[in-house]
Amino acid sequence: MIKYKVKLHDFNLHLYEVTLIIPKPLNNQILMMPAWIPGSYVIRDFSKQLSKLTLSQGQQPIDYFQTKSNEWVTNTTSSEPLEVKYFVYAFDKSVRGAYLDVQRGFFNATSLCICPIGFEEEVYELEIVHPNLEWQLVTGLTPANKTKRYEFGSYQAKNYAQLIDCPVMMGPLVIKSFSIQNNLHDIAISGDQHGDLDKLAADVEKICQTQVEFFGGLPKEVQYYCFLLQVSGEGYGGIEHVNSCSLLINKFAIPAISDAPKSKEYISLLGLFSHEYFHLWMVKQIKPAVFLNYDLTQPNYTSQLWAFEGFTAYYDDLMLVRAGLISPPQYFAILAENIGKLFKNPGRKYQSLKDASFDAWTKFYKPDENSLNSTVSYYLKGALFALCCDLQLRLGSNHEKNLDNVMKTLWQKYGQLKLGVEEQEIEKIIGEFNIDGIQDLLIKGLSQTEELPLERVLKNFGLSLSALLNVNTPLLDLGAKLLDYQGQLVAQEVYHEGVFQRLGIQAGDILVACQDHRMTNLNHQMLFQRYINKSVSITVFRDEKLMNLTGLLSPSFVKQYEINAITGFEHNINKWLDLDL
């Protein structure tokens, strides 16, 4: 058994102390720190936070040499236990790394636990030393050595892969629980816990129950599930794990009282819970073939993230309406907003969904000022592509075929049998339904950059898509993302074919004046309103040099989209949303 001992060494320095014991090391034992965390597809170089690495056998120091930034070769020549000690700096407030201060602790083992190469399939024990504070601990790992759930102490994983797939949260936690199929589910909340947590737990239970019924039961490996919820002043995100997930939300997303109307922020929060729980099947059980055995030292490329993330992003909100947590009009509003986001993204014309999936390692997770011009989100477009596929299948088969069938086929054929999904297999399954128009949709939607046929598919199904303007305060679409930085208005991103690009403004320019009138974040819209379709002079600072740019100010107005049900198509909508007929 491979053992780790983790001490909360220094809260103010944000340091964990880790001791790794390898009972019978190999000759010249190799040690490796993961370079990335499954579920977040970018090289993160976790080894950069490691310091003061020392090795010993029988109280004698052991030398080592480093072959890579995250790999060490030891000079072990005997089978005596090898002790490896080191510190890890933990100040990553996201769900992907490690964090420690006087208020809370959190870590993924990818950030803390060096892997002894050759022992990946051994049983692993993780001992977390009690910090002598009134803290609790929640993790998906199995308690061991008389440790009880929620206590500090020893936990076990069947192998290294499971160890790194079970994050740990510590602190003065609030824990809300419910059961699904007699399996305990916990929501462990760290941070500013104001709000109606009972309402949150009740709503999340409905989401989980709806998804379990959708797939016909929990995966047999899951006897316990925990949501690790970090509540902070800012931030939003989540990452899935084998029997848990880590979530980061704004403290104002949880409603203060149970009878308050569901805010947009709370619906978004419920969608995040829904998204990560859906991953319990899609990604953690149903997974690309290349993900069956992760190589944690380098990128693991697949062109299927449009399905594994995009389909999950489609079902996360759909499950909210099927669970009765939001109304059909609320769901249509979410779809309409997502369509507006896609239409505002110039990169959709330059990158296909398959390319977006494959390039996640270098583009999606490493955005720059040109990303919106050259890339498209496989989450966003993937979800709307899933919508098109679902409605097209339903229309062509009188609801006998749909995307639900695809998901259940993937679960039965791959997830339950522990087989990886080969490239192009998902579109093959969809195409085998032999529905009119589906092959054309698959080719154009996945491999090309043509617009998705959203308006046509929605209309045929019984939903109208309309572009609206706020007639009271119409906002100009300047084709840019602007940032108010210390009172200066900065062009953070400039979009292809937008008015700012036509005027010659580029990312990084500080906007000073329009027609000699000073621009600020508060008045720039009003200034530009004066000169619509007129030649203007824009003054900017670029690389500390004052420049005057002239051109025609001919922006369009910011469009908002609306989806409404068409009378006479209620049957379609009710079948799709699982509403009572």
The reply to whether 369 and 431 lie within a common domain is yes
Interval 394-437: pLDDT, tens: 999 999 999 999 999 999 999 999 999 999 999 999 999 999 99
- pTM for this structure? 0.94
**How many helices (H) does the chain have, and how many strands (E)?**
17, 31
Across all residues in the chain, what is the average pLDDT? 94
CATH number reported for the structural domain that contains residue 402 in this entry? 1.10.390.10
Pairing of strands 98-100, 136-139: unpaired
Is 206 part of any domain?
A: yes
Is 276 part of any domain?
A: no
Q: What is the pLDDT of residue 581?
A: 41
Q: Which domain holds residue 534?
A: 476-557
Length of the chain measured in residues: 581
Quickly state the pLDDT bin for 475 (edges 50, 70, 90).
Answer: confident
The reply to whether 188 and 167 lie within a common domain is no
Is 459 part of any domain?
A: no
Q: What is the pLDDT of residue 154?
A: 98
Q: Is the pLDDT of residue 532 over 80?
A: yes
Q: What is the pLDDT of residue 118?
A: 97
**Coil, strand, or helix at residue 359?**
helix
The reply to whether 121 and 46 lie within a common domain is yes
Count: domains in the chain: 4
Is 469 part of any domain?
A: no
Quickly state the pLDDT bin for 525 (edges 50, 70, 90).
Answer: confident
Lowest-confidence range among 74-88, 263-277, 295-309, 552-566? 552-566
Q: Is the pLDDT of residue 336 over 90?
A: yes
Instruction: Report which residue type is found at 107.
Output: F
Give the mean model confidence (pLDDT) for residues 127-153.
97
Give the mean model confidence (pLDDT) for residues 542-555.
91
CATH number reported for the structural domain that contains residue 221 in this entry? 3.30.2010.30
Out of 171, 198, 221, a domain closes at: 171
Q: How is residue 160 written in tokens?
A: 């290294």
The beta-carbon contacts of 60-68 under 8 Å, at least 24 apart in sequence, are: 64/31, 68/297
Out of 127, 153, 171, a domain closes at: 171
The reply to whether 58 and 190 lie within a common domain is no
Q: What is the pLDDT of residue 309?
A: 98
Q: Is the pLDDT of residue 473 over 90?
A: no
The reply to whether 177 and 204 lie within a common domain is yes
Share of residues in the chain with pLDDT > 90 (%) = 86
Quickly state the pLDDT bin for 472 (edges 50, 70, 90).
Answer: low
**Coil, strand, or helix at residue 393?**
helix
Among 354, 386, 380, 407, residue whose Cα is nearest residue 457 = 386
| 304 vs 295: CA distance, rounded Å | 17
The reply to whether 420 and 399 lie within a common domain is yes
**Coil, strand, or helix at residue 378?**
coil
Task: Supply φ then ψ for residue 75, to 5 degrees.
Answer: -95, 35
Give the mean model confidence (pLDDT) for residues 498-505.
92
Q: Is the pLDDT of residue 156 over 70?
A: yes
Q: What is the pLDDT of residue 444?
A: 96
* 529 contact partners, CB below 8 Å, separation of at least 6: 476
The reply to whether 193 and 250 lie within a common domain is yes
* 436 contact partners, CB below 8 Å, separation of at least 6: 396
The reply to whether 15 and 151 lie within a common domain is yes
Q: What is the pLDDT of residue 471?
A: 55
151 near 134, Cβ under 8 Å?
Answer: no
Give the mean model confidence (pLDDT) for residues 38-44.
96
The reply to whether 93 and 209 lie within a common domain is no
Is 501 part of any domain?
A: yes
The reply to whether 308 and 201 lie within a common domain is no
Among 318, 191, 341, 327, residue whose Cα is nearest residue 261 = 327
Give the mean model confidence (pLDDT) for residues 138-164.
97
**Coil, strand, or helix at residue 461?**
helix
The reply to whether 111 and 164 lie within a common domain is yes
Give the mean model confidence (pLDDT) for residues 555-565.
86
* 124 contact partners, CB below 8 Å, separation of at least 6: 1, 2, 3, 4, 156, 157, 158, 159, 160, 162, 163
Higher-confidence residue of 557 and 172: namely 172
Is 265 part of any domain?
A: no
The reply to whether 381 and 238 lie within a common domain is no
Is 264 part of any domain?
A: no
Quickly state the pLDDT bin for 470 (edges 50, 70, 90).
Answer: low
Is 470 part of any domain?
A: no
| 338 vs 380: CA distance, rounded Å | 7
CATH number reported for the structural domain that contains residue 160 in this entry? 2.60.40.3650
Which residue's entry shows tokens 């992907």?
A: 96
Interval 258-307: pLDDT, tens: 666 788 999 999 999 999 999 999 999 999 999 999 999 999 999 999 99
* 214 contact partners, CB below 8 Å, separation of at least 6: 319, 322, 404, 407, 408
Out of 197, 229, 259, a domain closes at: 259
* 98 contact partners, CB below 8 Å, separation of at least 6: 16, 49, 88, 90, 92, 106, 107, 108, 111, 112
| 246 vs 166: CA distance, rounded Å | 10
CATH number reported for the structural domain that contains residue 541 in this entry? 2.30.42.10
168 near 107, Cβ under 8 Å?
Answer: yes
Higher-confidence residue of 298 and 192: namely 298
Higher-confidence residue of 228 and 527: namely 228
Which residue's entry shows tokens 């390319």?
A: 355
Quickly state the pLDDT bin for 251 (edges 50, 70, 90).
Answer: confident
Q: Is the pLDDT of residue 99 over 90?
A: yes
